Chain A
Amino acid sequence: MAVAVLGLLRELGLVPIRLPQNARQVPQDVLQRSLPRGALQFGFELGTGVRTYVSASAPYVLAVALLLGGQRLHVAMLAGVGFGAGRALTPLARRAAGTGDRWDADLRVRLRTITVTAGVVLVAAFSVLAVRQL
């Protein structure tokens, strides 16, 4: 839970922590060489953080919570599947909106709300889980 609080404080700009990342984008020619293989490579590099920007604390909070909480493999896998689904929600919601650039602009405006709210929810959820274990 302490890590979740630290993550929230970072999202609020109260604690300056640089998140470890390989801040590079997967080049577009990966998809041009072979679309199926390129899509697989793109998803792997993005999902595992090999080459991507990590702009929020929540993924690290989740990873640390799984590690320090001594969670079993199936729990970590559940979290991983959830993570992938969460990543997929962005393009899915964008497509569902049907407004393209307008949705992108809306996202830019709402991004801080998303990251801060997620930080609050992580603190709350871990608190509830901790209380249930008492």
Chain B
Amino acid sequence: MTRTLPWPVRAARRRGADPLVPLLLLTVGALAAAAYGHVLTWAMIGGLAGYTLSGSV
């Protein structure tokens, strides 16, 4: 018998993994890194560029 998660847990899981969540994290990361002039800005921008190809295979 498979156990399904309770509805609130499933809803939170779905919200937490919404396609916009990585975008939000990468946006904050890129802008924060840029504000500090940190070289990690390029990694965050790279991540953002990679994520924009979500619709492509």
By a beta-carbon cutoff of 8 Å, the part of chain A in contact with chain B is 25-26, 46, 52-59, 61-62, 65-66, 71, 74-76, 78-90, 93-94, 96-99, 102-103, 106-108, 110-111, 113-115, 117-118, 121-122, 124-126, 128-129, 132
- A-chain residues with CB within 8 Å of residue B16 when the two chains form the complex: 96
Residue of A nearest to B5 (CB): A98
| Interface of chain A: mostly helix, strand, loop or mixed | helix
- B-chain residues with CB within 8 Å of residue A96 when the two chains form the complex: 13, 16-17
Q: Are B22 and A87 in contact (CB under 8 A)?
A: no
Number of interface residues of B (CB under 8 A): 38
- Bound Cα distance A66, B49 (Å): 13
Q: Are A107 and B52 in contact (CB under 8 A)?
A: no
In the complex, which of the residues B21, B31, B42, B43 has the most CB atoms of chain A within 10 Å of its own CB atom? B42
Q: Contact mask B43-57 → A, CB, 8 Å, 1/0?
A: 111111111111111
Given A87-B51, A115-B52, are A125 and B20 also a contact pair (CB < 8 Å)?
no
Chain A's nearest CB lies how many Å from the CB of B41? 6
Q: Are A62 and B51 in contact (CB under 8 A)?
A: no
Q: Are B52 and A59 in contact (CB under 8 A)?
A: yes
Chain A's nearest CB lies how many Å from the CB of B26? 7
Q: Are B34 and A61 in contact (CB under 8 A)?
A: no
